[in-house]
Amino acid sequence: MPDVKTYTGGCHCGQVRFACTTDLAMVTACNCSICTKKGLHFTFLPPQSFQLRAGEDNLREYLFNKHAIRHQLCIDCGVDVFARGKKPDGTEVVALNVSCIDGVELSKLTLTPIDGRSF
């Protein structure tokens, strides 16, 4: 049974803060160019499970390739905190950078490989 918890987190400088409810059952090890170059590992959740608590004005949007995923970076420290996009079925989704969640150790999570290069 999934262990659903409420987490808090944010960017390196603390200007961007969020809360989310998720089970961290699937954390990606994606091979797309941005995840590979930045070392990103995302978990995906519905928008209603993610709350931006501070720093909306500190976010800069980054788009690449097909412009389908809107990466949100802190303008002060440059951390890629989360992204917004759509699943193949059109459902809105938030992709949260697991490394930004307070107290979560990536080494203790199971990573699920995904072939992002093919998207």
Map out the domains of the chain with their CATH numbers. 5-114 (2.170.150.70)
For the segment 56-101, what is each residue's pLDDT rounded down to a tens digit? Answer: 999 999 988 777 789 999 999 999 999 999 888 999 999 999 999 9
pLDDT confidence of 21, banded at 50, 70, 90?
very high
pLDDT confidence of 2, banded at 50, 70, 90?
low
Intra-chain end-to-end CA distance of the chain, in Å: 30
Instruction: Determine the Cα–Cα distance for residues 65 and 13; give it in Å rounded to an integer.
Output: 28
R_g over Cα of the chain: 13
